[in-house]
Chain A
């Protein structure tokens, strides 16, 4: 599939959802607008590989912060992993956490500054392997923060090792013959685990591989910040994304692989939405 054709199929998808999405949310901007750089992003060139989803995810967060006008009141927490330098790109106050501890660091910030908007941005190794304890307990306490979880099924920064979310049979540098469940266990659907915790107010899984997915992802991020503003408790947004470099694919191939393998296992959509209040 070449890029043009892929965009074509995305356009069809977009048409299908366009009305619904636009009707749902005013933060979605009409797509004939010429995009500028959000104020909340710095001018530092990103270190992310070509085609990586991190850049889009960063941009969406920055756009939401801009649109909500909360740049001066937002504090972000960066993880260890590919997004370790996230603080170079967001023009907001940020804290760089130890591996896996971002949600604990975010808890510390939010507890002493309850009127600020606090979010953590974490990869799958960070959030669902070394930081599982902090993740579960932060969510279970219902900390009034937003956790953005980037799931690409692999350790990017360290060079493509198996992640807790690597799919069964997926080849990585530490599962060179494919993830074997007998030896290596199963991919962890941590978002499903999180969704059932009473402290979690909002839980959604999105992607950024197509325009329509990007729009839905932005809405989910917006919801997360909005619920925080309303003091509702924890919001958890998983972004299923690609890792062209470590999946050893071109960006286009990786997006196709994502669509055909990752998304069927990690289905997109809301896992927990607030009950309608009268």
Chain B
């Protein structure tokens, strides 16, 4: 039987964390994601026995995640932009030590303390590295609260499949708004013991060491090559995206997360004006669907990237299209959400230009 509920984004995500059979959550309050910690503090321990701990800082949270993830448990943290910045060192260590974990960023506008309003300005940080060294997170970008829920389950699956940290990159609007969600049934907590994990060295095996330190450059390069090979395999297997009306579109809107759903409305408005608009929405931001986007540029000669930042995914769109078509950009910053009307205006402007050129 379907379990439908009207839930706030952050709370729905927290509910999904419990149901995914998570073993431990370590977090620190920050707007606009504090409801995750609050909901878990109230609900989680009594229901599944999972650990919920409010740390003294995001730095401590991510290092608690490092310790607990090293035992092979299903662990996670969540925060918002400034807190995620503080975690970058720890995330780099986790990526190098190849520990499975889930990190949720309910993005708010920066730079600096910025504002508590939603933004997508942590795209570079999430997708291009963020911390020091060459590493990648698998980055999932939900556009609905339903996807926030589903990505928790998917995130843990991918984390253990690849032994890699996973980031759910959502934003303050999705975290705070309410929507209908279908919840998946409770998954029991797993008590599987992994050979690589620090669970206590049994006589029959070598000791497990969780480290990112390899002082010999030859060894460190070997580790790097191994990581890069893993990322190439992830690029082959884990690309996820959604397309709407892209086949014969005059203009294709490219957007992720919240802005993708605003683009849907803009596309409807454009259709009324006789402009054929498609929408391409990457769901994984790493790995990025470069090839699919490149193929679309065979038919459509005009792309409009819409983001709540100064043009971050825009760089990947341009890389994907590689000069085969024109790429325009519409971005709002500082916590401003673009309206369907202003996207429509931009679409009309672009369409006018296309018509004049023909």
- By a beta-carbon cutoff of 8 Å, the part of chain A in contact with chain B is 71-75, 77-78, 84-85, 87, 90-98, 101, 104-109, 111-113, 116, 133-134, 137
Among B24, B57, B202, contact of A112 (Cβ-Cβ < 8 Å): B24
Interface string of B59-93 (1 = CB under 8 A from A): 11001111111110101000000000000011001
A106-B67 in contact (CB<8A): yes
Given contacts A111-B24, A133-B57, contact A93 B63 (CB under 8 A): no
B68-A109 in contact (CB<8A): yes
Cα–Cα, bound, A98→B97 (Å): 12
Cα–Cα, bound, A74→B201 (Å): 8
Given contacts A74-B200, A93-B199, A109-B71, contact A87 B64 (CB under 8 A): no
A94-B207 in contact (CB<8A): yes
B56-A95 in contact (CB<8A): no
Chain A residues in 8 Å Cβ range of B56: 133-134, 137
Binds A, one of B208-216, B307-315, B321-329, B342-350: B208-216
Cα–Cα, bound, A93→B206 (Å): 9
Given contacts A133-B56, A134-B63, contact A112 B209 (CB under 8 A): no
Among B64, B199, B202, B212, contact of A111 (Cβ-Cβ < 8 Å): B64
A93-B213 in contact (CB<8A): no
From residue B226, how far is it (CB to closest CB) to chain A in Å? Answer: 18
Chain A residues in 8 Å Cβ range of B55: 104, 137
Cα–Cα, bound, A91→B90 (Å): 25
Given contacts A95-B211, A96-B212, A112-B73, contact A101 B68 (CB under 8 A): no
CB closest residue in chain B, given A95: B210
- Does B53 sit at the interface, judged by CB under 8 A? yes
Among B60, B73, B197, B199, contact of A104 (Cβ-Cβ < 8 Å): B60
Cα–Cα, bound, A80→B210 (Å): 14
Cα–Cα, bound, A93→B198 (Å): 5
- Does B47 sit at the interface, judged by CB under 8 A? no
- Does B187 sit at the interface, judged by CB under 8 A? no
Chain A residues in 8 Å Cβ range of B73: 112
Chain A residues in 8 Å Cβ range of B75: 108, 112
CB closest residue in chain A, given B53: A111
From residue B208, how far is it (CB to closest CB) to chain A in Å? Answer: 5
Among B51, B59, B70, contact of A95 (Cβ-Cβ < 8 Å): B70
Given contacts A93-B207, A111-B53, 14 further A-B contacts (CB under 8 A): A74-B200, A75-B198, A87-B207, A93-B198, A93-B200, A94-B211, A96-B209, A105-B67, A107-B53, A108-B26, A109-B198, A112-B73, A116-B199, A134-B59
- Does B35 sit at the interface, judged by CB under 8 A? no
Among B89, B209, B212, contact of A93 (Cβ-Cβ < 8 Å): B209
CB closest residue in chain A, given B73: A112
Chain A residues in 8 Å Cβ range of B213: 84-85, 96
Chain A residues in 8 Å Cβ range of B93: 98
Among B63, B71, B197, B198, contact of A98 (Cβ-Cβ < 8 Å): B63
CB closest residue in chain B, given A78: B211
Chain A residues in 8 Å Cβ range of B67: 77, 95, 97, 104-109
Among B68, B71, B201, B210, contact of A96 (Cβ-Cβ < 8 Å): B210
- Does B203 sit at the interface, judged by CB under 8 A? yes
Chain A residues in 8 Å Cβ range of B201: 71-72, 91-93
Cα–Cα, bound, A97→B51 (Å): 21
Chain B residues in 8 Å Cβ range of A111: 24, 51, 53, 64, 68
Given contacts A73-B200, A94-B207, contact A112 B68 (CB under 8 A): yes
Can you show 21 pairs from A to B with CB atoms below 8 A apart? A71-B201, A72-B203, A73-B200, A75-B71, A91-B207, A92-B207, A93-B207, A94-B211, A95-B211, A96-B210, A98-B66, A101-B66, A101-B90, A107-B60, A108-B66, A109-B67, A112-B23, A112-B75, A133-B60, A134-B59, A137-B56
Cα–Cα, bound, A136→B119 (Å): 35
From residue B199, how far is it (CB to closest CB) to chain A in Å? Answer: 7
Cα–Cα, bound, A100→B67 (Å): 13
Cα–Cα, bound, A41→B53 (Å): 33
Chain B residues in 8 Å Cβ range of A137: 55-56, 60
From residue B98, how far is it (CB to closest CB) to chain A in Å? Answer: 13
Find the residue from A92, A97, A101, A112 having the highest chain B CB count within 10 A: A112
